[in-house]
Amino acid sequence: MNQYEQEINLYFELKGTPDSSKESYMRRMRAFITFIQDKSIGMEELTERDIQQYILYLKKEKGLSAGTINNYISAIKFFYTYILQKEWNPKKIPRMKRVATFPVIPSRQDVLSILDATTNLKHKAMLLLLYGSGLRVSEVAKLRIYDICSKTMRVRVENAKHGTNRYTILSETALMVLRQYFRTTFSPGSYTPEDWLFPGQNTGEHINIKTIKNTMIKLRNKLQLNQRISAHTLRHCFATHCLENGVEIVFIQQMLGHKNLKTTEIYLHMTAKSLMGIKSPLDTHG
């Protein structure tokens, strides 16, 4: 893989690919190349048949979902066409059909239980931003101090997915905790507005995304909640609960940073219809 990395990094640099996408592509290309090399197949001899065998391995032995396998296919296609300069045949290597599944949306009570169970101020502030502002986990990790604006009650999100920038709302509850966290973490004169809001263990780095994810897993398990609840669930809850509160879907789309309204419309399926004033005909007769 080392002989290809320079060329791959150059392409990503020229295109301005976000770091998260770059890391994802690199990780999947490395896994594919290791698989091929373990079978003593030279890269120049690589065929569509070899790729098909790898996809079957991901499906049958690794048990990966269709969506995850499609992400691998995208990375392999990039490597096959850009690095090896070979022709890609989508008929021979089709993308897997995805079965639509809805994420778990815990009740507001369960969400508040999770937030209340968080005693660490830094962790609490991060989770409150996930739920209170609808941020992605990676977006919370990469917030800088100047991204929080208490005057306008907005959170600025820079270089998000698809290289987009946006603003979303800042919760008053989150702001109170953020102020507490800030006072205990940053001493006067020890920081600049450009510094990471949530610094990591190494100087100059932001908190690791996995740390936020693991924090949520520990809380979920401690409270014995649904095993499918993750840190990203709080973003889903933000969108669903906003809809239930009567917020127009186009505003939710803007706050979430969705390029397509259809992506946001999935939350219409997950709302508690009773909270939106919709009653069963069984309860409205007579």
Q: Which CATH class is domain 108-276?
A: mainly alpha
Average pLDDT, the chain: 92
Element (H, E) at 167: strand 166-169
- Which has more pLDDT, 99 or 257? 257
Write the Ramachandran bin of 50: left for phi over 0, alpha for psi from -120 to 50, otherwise beta: alpha
- pTM assigned to the model: 0.76
Annotated catalytic residues are 136, 161, 232, 235, 258, 267
**Mean pLDDT across the stretch 247-255?**
95
225 phi and psi angles, rounded to 5 deg: -95, 175
pLDDT value for 179: 97
Collect all residues with Cβ–Cβ distance below 8 Å to 133 and sequence separation of at least 6: 155, 168, 169, 170, 171, 174, 238, 255
pLDDT at position 195 over 70: yes
pLDDT value for 155: 97
**Mean pLDDT across the stretch 224-242?**
95
**Which residue intervals of the chain bear CATH 1.10.150.130?**
2-83
**Which residue intervals of the chain bear CATH 1.10.443.10?**
108-276
Closest CA to 168 of 140, 136, 143, 133: 133
- Give 2-83's CATH code, choosing from 3.30.450.40, 3.40.50.300, 3.40.190.10, 1.10.150.130: 1.10.150.130
In a 3-state reduction of DSSP, which class is residue 32? helix
What is d(CA 157, CA 151) in angstroms, rounded to the nearest whole number? 16
**Mean pLDDT across the stretch 146-155?**
96
pLDDT at position 2 over 90: no
Tell me the pLDDT band of 225, cut-offs 50, 70 and 90: very high
Residue in the structure block whose two tokens are 């919760």: 171
Q: What is the pLDDT of residues 163-185, one digit of tens each?
A: 678 999 999 999 999 999 999 99
Q: What is the pLDDT of residues 128-138, one digit of tens each?
A: 999 999 999 99
Instruction: Give the distance, in angstroms, between the CA of residue 268 and the centroid of all CA atoms in the same chain.
Output: 20
pLDDT value for 101: 75
pLDDT value for 99: 78
Give me the amino acid identity at 278: I
Report whether 190 contacts 132 (CB < 8 A): no
